[in-house]
Amino acid sequence: MAKTEDVSEKLDIIAAEFFVHRHVRGKWACKCCQTLVQEPVEPHIIDKGMPAEGLIAHTLVSRFVDHIPYYRQEQINARSGIHTPRSTLAAWSGQGGAGLIPLYDAHRRFVLGANVLHVDETPVNMLDPGAGKTKRAYIWAYARSGFDVLPGVVYDFCVGRGAKYPVAFLQDWSGTLVCDGYAAYDTVFKLEQRIEAGCLAHARRKFDELIKDNQSPVATQAVQRIAKLYHIEREARDLSVEQRLDMRQARAKPLWEEMHVWLMMERRRVPDGSAIANAIDYSLNRWTALMAYLVDGDVPIDNNHIENLMRPWAMGRKAWLFAGSELAGQRAAIVMTLVQSAKMHGHDPWAYLKDVLTRLPSHLNSRIDELLPHRWQPQD
């Protein structure tokens, strides 16, 4: 009789478990010279501290990837019988972020090595000591082009939104900067080596809002025209830089020229100060910047790439509520820079952080680029 069998599978889970590493170091005493010799202590991100690199990485990922506040991490750890006060978790995160500074600086140089960058900013709350409340700070984000084969993003925590922050961050950079119409960027483009590329998504939103509120026929036509441009971009997405540029020149450029004539004509028909006039003026005032992607195949049609990379901060803003200080905000930006860039390259954020936190204390600074997200290889 032939044997047959049925196989069934059920998915199960083993809850997170804490365990202790014991490091035993031998001591040797010389009877002749009375000298005591002992094996050196292996360097760690937190010397003489309780947490190993895996636990530090877990705390950072819980906070900055899964957006779990420290007080909730404290409760979760307590269910496993481990007492980790939120102040202790915050201290571990701060020390972990500080240890990652050399890697952050190297990654910043890598991102700023691109000829095409996206930039955007978003508000975050920061505790105002002594005032009993929070004040507004900002996260500035800079990312390599959405078409770049080696993507990367770097975040910069700043206490304000003025032009001096992007000017300082980009002081040695030149190339094409994709941005919205925020006036602070005007100062960035005072250097001749920089080219402004606009965001068509921002222009489209002006018309989208009118369609929702007033059912404007002019706004509807504008959105329909813009949709044709995006249809071409979807077809060009996976082409080479040269092929993408050729398609834009052949198919998109004539549509832009037609839309410019149409917008100028419609603008003369609507009263100054009206909502539709303001929407048209936004596009016309930024027309040269909006068309910048037609002369460079590496330049995207909009700034949606960086806006998507801002979402983790929006989610964290609801969970963390505020940064404890300017220093805490800067270290949060360091961690977020590395984990988000690691995710862009398909790495598990915990595995990446655990490995680099383990290797950094003894890693040669001249070889720091080996640990960057786009070059990192896990150790066997």
CA distances from 9 to 6, 41, 233, 285, 329 (A): 10, 46, 44, 62, 45
Indicate the DSSP class of residue 9.
-
Reduced to 3 states, what is the DSSP secondary structure of residue 140?
strand
Q: How far apart are CA 99 and CA 339, in angstroms?
A: 14
pLDDT given for residue 325 in this prediction: 85
Residue whose token pair is 């390599």: 144
Strand spans (E) along 3-46: 27-29, 36-38
Beta strands 116-128 and 153-158, pairing class: unpaired
Strand spans (E) along 70-132: 116-128
CA 48 to chain centre: 32
Sequence-separated (6 or more) residues with CB below 8 Å from residue 335: 60, 63, 64, 93, 96, 97, 100, 353
pLDDT given for residue 38 in this prediction: 65
Q: Single out the residue of 247, 250, 257, 282 nearest to residue 267, CA to CA.
A: 282
SS3 content of the chain, % helix, strand, coil (to 5): 50, 10, 35
Q: How far apart are CA 359 and CA 379, in angstroms?
A: 10
Instruction: Dump pLDDT digits (tens) for 29-57.
Output: 777 776 776 666 677 777 777 888 899 99
Cβ atoms of 189 and 167 closer than 8 Å: no
Cβ atoms of 211 and 192 closer than 8 Å: no
Instruction: Dump pLDDT digits (tens) for 224-244.
Output: 999 999 999 999 999 999 999
Low-confidence ranges of the chain (pLDDT < 70): 1, 25, 28, 34, 37-41, 321, 380
Reduced to 3 states, what is the DSSP secondary structure of residue 39?
coil
